[in-house]
Amino acid sequence: MQNNRQINKNGELQHLLTIEGLPASMLHHILDTAESFVSVTEREVKKVPLLRGKAIFNLFFEPSTRTRTTFEIAAKRLSADVINLNIGASSQSKGETLLDTVNNLSAMHADMFIVRHAQSGAAHLIASHVAPEIHVVNAGDGRHAHPTQALLDMYTIRHFKQHFHELKVAIVGDIMHSRVARSQIHALTTLGVPEVRVIAPKTLLPKGVEHLGVHPYHDLSKGLKDVDVLLMLRLQNERMQGALLPSAQEYFKYYGLTPEKLALAKPDAIVMHPGPMNRGIEIDSSVADGPQSVILPQVTFGIAVRMAVMSILAGS
């Protein structure tokens, strides 16, 4: 998949489609910009006029709560007009192609498309098709990428742990079907995290994952030893073909994060999850709601990070 399409010839971000290939300086720029927006989201009047008059279309072809809502809030806090398409009830269900839908919305003077689609590459396809003044953000495509989720995860890590180059980070769970894991791996390695571990049963770990610069583990207890950050993943049952796991109970027994397992990590380790969470499958409720969990701050930071991405794009 081509990544250079997202950087224009002036070296500015034109689209955000994937973390892969983005330089560390760009990731830091997005995180620093997000930091300036965190204070906006804490004010009584939570708005800045940066995207006034811009039309941002939320094109979600897959269900989403957090991502769609936080993009909408972020766009509104930048004073943009946000149009949420109810895709299930739209012309796609009448047989219109994706690009025809996009052509029609472009004819309504869209400035930006936020795209979530079950097909890997959907956001790239749209980005290669639209006029140069229109920006595209990938809000999750198939099992390929989810760059804003990885960026909000990096923001959260930086907020709680400061220095990427001192950290041991473990990504735990269904790496195989996870677009979040792929984007997290690219972000963590680009930002200089010296040790990124991926912990999963053999059936949920893609072959050759070590070529991405990560260390694979099949034993959760070994993999969690001394880690600073735990990135938990949801079992993506909707993407599994055939029986990859004996049962949810069995999975929880070996890979579920319980207080006992968490105790193997550093005492001040933080626990993250992109949501939606399956309590009692990948994570025990006492951990999800416990003192080391930063799962809800992730959601809050997601607004500032999405504000940063949209304002950087529309400013280029």
**C-alpha to C-alpha distances, 148 to 120, 219, 227, nearest whole angstrom:** 16, 29, 24
**Using H for helix, E for strand and C for coil, what is the string for 189-207?**
HHCCCCEEEEECCHHHCCC
Question: How many residues sit close enough to ligand NCD to count as binding (CB under 6 A)?
Answer: 11
Does 149 participate in binding ligand NCD (rule CB under 6 A)?
yes
Question: CB of 283: closest distance to ligand NCD in angstroms?
Answer: 12
Is the distance from CB of 147 to CB of 170 less than 8 angstroms? no
Does 66 participate in binding ligand NCD (rule CB under 6 A)?
yes
Segment 275-314, which members bind ligand NCD (CB under 6 A)? Answer: 275
Q: Measured from the CB atom, is 106 or 173 closer to ligand NCD?
A: 173
**C-alpha to C-alpha distances, 282 to 6, 22, 148, 225, 276, nearest whole angstrom:** 34, 31, 22, 18, 11
Between helix 147-161 and helix 24-42 the angle, nearest 10°, is: 80
Does 117 participate in binding ligand NCD (rule CB under 6 A)?
no
Does 185 participate in binding ligand NCD (rule CB under 6 A)?
no
Question: CB of 196: closest distance to ligand NCD in angstroms?
Answer: 18
Does 256 participate in binding ligand NCD (rule CB under 6 A)?
no
Among 77, 179, 182, 261, binds ligand NCD (CB under 6 A): 179
Does 143 participate in binding ligand NCD (rule CB under 6 A)?
no
Could you tell me which residues come within 8 angstroms of residue 174 by beta carbon, excluding any fewer than 6 positions away?
181, 200, 204, 233, 234, 235, 236
The one-letter amino acid at 313 = L
Among 20, 22, 140, 230, binds ligand NCD (CB under 6 A): 140
Positions that interact with ligand NCD (CB under 6 A) = 66-67, 140, 146, 149, 179-180, 234, 236, 274-275
